[in-house]
Structures are given as structure tokens and as C-alpha cells.
A and B are shown apart, each in its own frame.
Chain A
Amino acid sequence: MFKKEMIAMLLAGGQGSRLGVLTAKVAKPAVAFGGKYRIIDFPLSNCINSGIDTVGVLTQYQPLRLNTHIGIGIPWDLDRNVGGVSILPPYEKSSNSEWYTGTANAIYQNMNYMETYNPDYVLILSGDHIYKMDYEVMLDFHKANKADVTIAAMPVPMEEASRFGIVVADNDGKIKDFEEKPEKPSSNLASMGIYIFSWQVLKEALIQLKDQPNCDFGKHIIPYCHEKGDRLFAYEYNGYWKDVGTLSSYWEANMELIDIIPEFNLYEEFWKIYTNSANIPPQYIAEQGVVDRCIISNGSEIYGEVHSSVLGGSVMVGKGSVIRDSIIMQGVRIGENCVIDKAIIAEDTVIGDNVVIGIGSEVPNRTKPNIYSGGLATIGENSVIPAGVQIGKNTAISGVTTAEDYSDGVLSSGETLIKAGDRV
């Protein structure tokens, strides 16, 4: 029988609806980040860098991009004879087939997968955080405390603590209590959604709660273990960790990468982030090109100006165009003499000449003010923006748009323009 000390289960099935048009066609973990990467690259790279070579990736929402990205795991060295990466979608069973209804339910439905590897410990991860963490150190902590469950937690400013799931622990890290988004938090240790379970404890809890609707780790499994008197410990983590669940936090996390010495440093040799990248050619900066405080990925060609931005691979920036404070993903083509301020432009979108993005005043988005905020203009993948139009702030665009979609050639701040159909 195979034996793996610890295997990882990576929850990658969520839509991430707060990323708006960015996740209209892909699951959040497959959204591009930091130029050449996708969000899931960070937990996957952490796994292999921590010596975990068996990773189950649970997918459900729009998994195509995720599946092609992960493949058989070659970029992360997760193509293994025993173990490696396995994609685990929901599947039909002889009775009682269902989707993954909650994080713990998804894990429960893959009990057989975990049993195959006969693990001592199971690491539960989510595919939507940007961080570097050595899970092996966390496992050592788990073992040293003879813990049943270890929850990674990080200190957050006290005034923000009421936005998180808070763990209250004593000096040794033993967890005394939980508070879910408390009004008056009694601790500032926020749970990061990273758990190590001793296998028997996890198995027992999953079986006990198998009939719990929408069974969730934070809401059901952890409280169950706590009430039962299991040894729960908080593993305090003090490095860089960023939830990129909203457009604003996603934009900020990208922008942090262009600081002179970024807090989250991709250039360190000893903890590399791996990704599946088809872009091999170098980038070209033309005679009249300007590159100032930005990161640009392989294969891009810059004929215009790029300031304070993050560019993916094979991006074309035409002559006379000026890009500022923006995230431009792989394969985007930007015409000539465009001015783009504070925009997020998803993959393979085509922007015509003389387009202006990010003008006007900050009017809240009319349909989804909570999603499209922060003054960002967000354009979904494979969209087309016709030449000469102007686009305001807090806007969202997706699909092939034509000049007729813009009254007087303008999409004013706060508007949303979603068209069906892909670019052909």
C-alpha cells in the first residue's frame, strides 16, 4: 500500500463572483496574477517547495482553463509515478450524486482519493490566496503540539479583525474559541483557511457530518472538532499573505509587485513560483517605448508607454498609447494612441486605436456597486473595444462590443456593458 505522510487537498472549485467579469468564464484560481502566473500557482508551488508531492485539486466551477493549466503537473514537478497532482471534479455515484455543496463536502466526496495514499496528515488549502508558506514547518508545529487540527492564522490590525474569522488562542497557540466576523474581536488572529488535520480526526469528522447541508470547514468541521474536545492549535504566520477575492484587493496585490523592493518578492531563488507558460520569446521594447516602474512578461512588445503596471505575456502596446496603474493580461492587444488608466484587462482582449479608459468622475457602478469599485475599469477576456471610444471608472465590459454600444462613443462611469459571444 502506498504511504504519503501528508497530502494536500486544494479547493479550487469556487467561482469568485466578486471578481466580476474576470471570473465569468474561469474559476478564480485560474485568474492571471503578477503577469505570467495564475492564482493557483502559489499554493501549488508552495506544495512542491514544502516537499508535498501529492495534491488533489478539487474543481467544479468552469474548470477548463484550470485543467489545461495544471495538465499533469509538469511545471510544478507534480508529474509523479506515485502521487503527483490529480484533478478531482464532482462525479456520478451509484446513488446520491451531487455537486460539491461546501468545502468539507467536496473533501468528503473524495475520501477514496485520500485513502489511496494512506496519509497521516491532510493539508487543506484554498486556491485563492497569494503567499509563500512552508507547510512542512506548519506540520512540525502540528506534530510538536500533538495537535488534531492546526489552523494557520495571521495577525491583522485590530480594527480590521471584525472582517475575518478570528481564532482566540492561548500563549502556546492552543485554540480556546472562535469568532466569525465578530463585532468586538477578542483577538486579532485571523484564520487563513489553511488547515492541517490528522487524518483519523478529519475522516471521523467528515463521516459524522456527511449529512450536514453545505458542509463547510469554517462553519461545521472546525466547530465540531472544537466542541468534541480535539486539540486545535493556531499556527501563527507572519509573512505576506493576500486574499485576492475582490477586484480592489486583486488590483492592489498586483500593484505591490512593482515596488522597488516588493514585500512579496518573486525574484528569490530559494522559493520559486512555478507556472505553466507557453511564452518563451523575450520581450521587446521599441525605440519610442517607455517602461517605468512595471513588470512585463515574456513575448510582449511595447511601442508605447507603460507606467506602474503589470503586463502578462505576449501583450502588444501600440505606438503612442499610455498605460498607467493597470493590469493587462496575456495576449491583450492595445492599439495606437490609447490612454488607459487604472484598468484590469483580461486575456486576449483587443482594444482599438484612440481608446480612452478610466476617465470621468468616480460614480459607483449602477448594477453591482460592491464588485466594480475603486475607480477600476474591468474588461473581461476575449472582449473587443472598438476604436475611439471612451470608458469611465467603475465600469465593466465583456464581449465583442461595437461602436453602436457606446452612445456618443462613451461608456460613462458606473455603467456595465456585457455582450454575449466571443471574439472570432
Chain B
Amino acid sequence: MRAVGIILAGGNSRKMQELTARRAVAAMPIAGSYRAIDFALSNMTNSHIQKVAVLTQYNARSLNEHLNSSKWWDFGRKQGGLFVFTPTITADNGYWYRGTADAIYQNLDFLRKCHEPYVIITSGDAVYKMDYNKVLEYHIAKKADITVVCKELAPGDDATRFGTIRMNEAARIEEFEEKPMVAHSQTVSTGIYVIRRRQLIDLVEHCAEEERHDFVTDILIRYKNLKKIYGYKINSYWSNISTVDAYYRTNMDFLRQDVRDYFFRELPSVFSKVSDQPPAKYNPGAVVKNSLVGSGSIINGTVENSVVFKKVFVGNNCVIKNSIILNDVYLGDNTYIENCIVESRDTIRANTRHVGENGVKIVVEKNERYAL
């Protein structure tokens, strides 16, 4: 194989509010059945990349649990495999990952021991499908030092939470601003990079010597006039989930048939850890309209325009509208939920009312669960 994969899944995002109090962004549940990192992992395996390192540090319990076996993504191989690297204290290092470049630097032995000539770096917090080999071929054809996959955001979308990019006609990146106050371009970096392995090792080592730690500001932006850094545009669906709003919208996107067809039916498939839940059950009184329902859920009430994850119990006369109910939530009878994200494993008592008045409300209730 020509490339190894690195998934940067260490991040926390304060913009996710309470949702990342419990887990890394890469472990956020997506579209009723998945977690965010499944998309990057599935893209890796579908691109025949067999050796993948996941770099994680923030609140990794959920993520580690999800990655407890590599077989779901077909990584458990003699040649290759899935490696999960959390920071460790060693004789020469006593730090957490101080940035993305530092995270790679601290695991440089992994890269040194590989024989594959290229590295695909991606984040674990985006929902997309991609054949990395296409980017790799582009990278080789362009004789690039680094290729950055970028996405043209729709006019009006907020580009300031990304790295904004301007390219010349040859697609060489001329301007790169990280999270600018005012975006001069709607073209943003997706955080997917292709780079030659030796090149990456050199750059990261150099960075470390200068006590710099961030891949974007200290490598991409700093080197953009020295190295040949090219952009590769992705035209298919790509969505980063690292704000509450984006997370909510990404999930709701799956209520669209074209998005469902693209991710659920078209090959290659997106894989996830198999959860062994029984089929979803709809009892008399269930009214479900324009909604996704995960397996193992039992629905007794009304669900409209919502995404209900796995093993959710919806009691009698409940009404759920425009909401996301995460895994293993119990909703007591007569509950009314509108415009909310209900945190996983929550127990909502009967007759509770939660409405997101100005934007999406995150519901975290830690009641004792008596039923079930």
C-alpha cells in the first residue's frame, strides 16, 4: 500500500458546549447509527489504507470504547492495523499533545517504522466520503509537497471557524488564514492532507526543534511560500460537526433522501461498531414522521423531523419535534421535546418539557432510571 493514515481525534471543542463534556468530538454520535470517526475510518479502509493511527487525548473513554476492536472497519490485519495513541510520559517528554504537529511528533516512531511512502492525515470530526487515492494521485501529479483538501462553502455559511484558503489558477495555495475574524474566501481547509512520509517527519522534527506545535499555523501557513502546497477541491458532501449548530444541521441533513442515499446505499459503505440491538419497535400510539430511528428503540409516542439514536425509549403521549435524541435515552410519558439535543443515557421524567427557544437546547438530565 502506498499510504498510512493518521486521524487527529484528540480535539475538544468548546463550541460543542455540554456535548463534549463527556466525549471527544470524534466520538459524537451521528445519523442514528454512527460516530463521527466512523466516516474517516471507513474512508481509510475503503481506500485500502490498512495502517491507521488515531491520535487522541481529550476525554477519550467513549472513543476508546468505540475503537475497542478494529474488526468493524476491517483493520485487524497482520499487515497494518488500527493504532490508538494517547500521550504517554516518556524519558524525553512529559507533555500532553500541545498541538497537532506535536501529537504527530510524539508518535514519530510510528511513522519512522512504516515503509509506505505517503501519509494521509484527516480529522475525526467530519462527515464525508472520500477515496483518498484520488487525492494521492493528484498530489503525485502536481508534484506537491503537501496537498490540502478544501471545500467551497455555500455563500452565507460561516467560514471563520475554518482555515480559509485562496489558490491561484494552478491550484497552488497562496493565502491561508486560520480561523480569520473576517473570511476573504469561502474556500476552507477540510483538515485532510496528503504528504510524503519523509517530508512529514522532517517538517514535524523541525517544528519541534523550534518549539512549535501546530500543524496548520506552524507548518501549512509558515511554509506556504517555501513548499509547494496545493489545494484539492471536494465537491461531494462534507460537513464538519464541531459546533452545536453544525452538529445539529449535519444530523438533520440525513433526513434528506439524497444524503441518505449517498451515505447509506451507495457503495462504498460506511462501517461502524456493531451494537447488537434488536429491531426498532413501534407500539400502538406511535406516530413517526420524517425521522430516523436507530435500532433497539421503542417508540410509543410522536416523533417528527427528528433523529432518534439507538436504544431510545419514547413513552406514551410523548411529542418530539426537530430534535436529536442520542443513544440510550429514556423519555417518560407525556414528555414534550422540541428543538433539543438530548444527551445520551439521559433519563427524562414523565411530563417534562424542553423547548429550544433561541436555537438548539442541549438537555442533560441525570435522573435515576427506574423503568426498563
* A interface residues, Cβ below 8 angstroms from B: 34-36, 74-75, 258, 260, 266-267, 272-275, 277, 280-299, 301, 306, 310-311
Contacts and interface: CB of A to CB of B under 8 A. Distances in A.
Contact of A282 (B31, B71, B276, B287): B31
Contact of B33 (A34, A281, A288): A281
A266 B295 CA distance: 12
A306 B280 CA distance: 13
Contacts of A273: 276, 278
A295 B279 contact: yes
B278 A286 contact: no
Interface stretch (B264-272, B339-347, B356-364): B264-272
B290 interface: yes
A28 to B, nearest CB: 21
Contact of B279 (A36, A274, A281): A36
Nearest to A79: B71
Nearest to A302: B288
Interface string B19-59: 00000000000011110000000000000000000000000
Contacts of B280: 283, 295-297
B353 interface: no
A260 B300 CA distance: 10
B31 A281 contact: yes
Interface of B: 31-34, 71, 255, 260, 263-264, 269-272, 274, 276, 278-284, 286-296, 298-299, 303, 307-309
Contacts of A75: 274, 276
Contact of A292 (B32, B270, B282): B282
Given A34-B278, A274-B276, A298-B33, A283 B292 contact: yes
Nearest 7 CB-CB pairs, A to B?
A282-B32, A266-B278, A35-B279, A281-B264, A291-B282, A285-B288, A297-B279
Contacts of B303: 285
Which of B272, B290, B298 has the most CB atoms of chain A within a 10 A radius of its CB? Answer: B290
A280 B274 contact: yes
Contacts of B296: 267
5 contacts: A282-B307, A282-B308, A284-B260, A285-B303, A288-B289
B298 A267 contact: yes
B282 A293 contact: yes
A275 B290 CA distance: 28
Contact of A284 (B272, B282, B292): B292
Contacts of B33: 280-282, 298
A283 B293 contact: yes
B78 to A, nearest CB: 15
Contacts of A275: 276
Nearest to B69: A74
Given A273-B278, A277-B274, A282 B290 contact: no
A283 B307 CA distance: 10
Contacts of A285: 288-291, 293, 303
A307 to B, nearest CB: 10
Contact of A296 (B279, B287, B289): B279
A402 B276 CA distance: 39
B271 A287 contact: no
Given A74-B71, A280-B270, A284-B292, A260 B278 contact: no
A291 B295 contact: no
Which of A267, A287, A293, A294 has the most CB atoms of chain B within a 10 A radius of its CB? Answer: A267
B16 to A, nearest CB: 22
B286 A291 contact: yes
Contacts of A292: 282, 284, 286
Contacts of A260: 283-284
Contacts of A311: 279
A196 to B, nearest CB: 27
Contact of B289 (A74, A267, A287, A295): A287
Contacts of A258: 281
B124 to A, nearest CB: 18
A74 B69 CA distance: 11
A34 B294 CA distance: 16
A179 B260 CA distance: 58
Contacts of A286: 289-290
B264 A291 contact: no
Nearest to A298: B295
Contacts of B264: 281, 299
A297 B289 contact: no
B291 to A, nearest CB: 6
Contacts of A297: 279-280, 295
Contact of B34 (A266, A274, A280, A295): A280
Contacts of B307: 282
A274 B271 CA distance: 18
Which of A267, A280, A286 has the most CB atoms of chain B within a 10 A radius of its CB? Answer: A280
Contacts of B269: 280
A282 B295 contact: yes
B59 to A, nearest CB: 25
A424 to B, nearest CB: 19
Given A267-B296, A280-B269, A286-B289, A294 B32 contact: no
A280 B34 CA distance: 8
A118 B342 CA distance: 53
A147 B309 CA distance: 49
Contacts of A283: 280, 292-293, 295
A291 B290 CA distance: 12
Given A260-B284, A286-B289, A34 B279 contact: yes
A46 B291 CA distance: 34
Contacts of A266: 278-279
Nearest to B42: A280
Contacts of A294: 281-282
Which of B278, B294, B299 has the most CB atoms of chain A within a 10 A radius of its CB? Answer: B278
A177 B359 CA distance: 73
Nearest to A303: B257
A181 B224 CA distance: 86
Given A283-B293, A285-B293, 12 more contacts: A35-B279, A36-B279, A258-B281, A267-B281, A277-B274, A280-B33, A282-B292, A284-B293, A293-B282, A293-B284, A299-B264, A310-B279
Given A74-B71, A297-B279, A282 B293 contact: yes
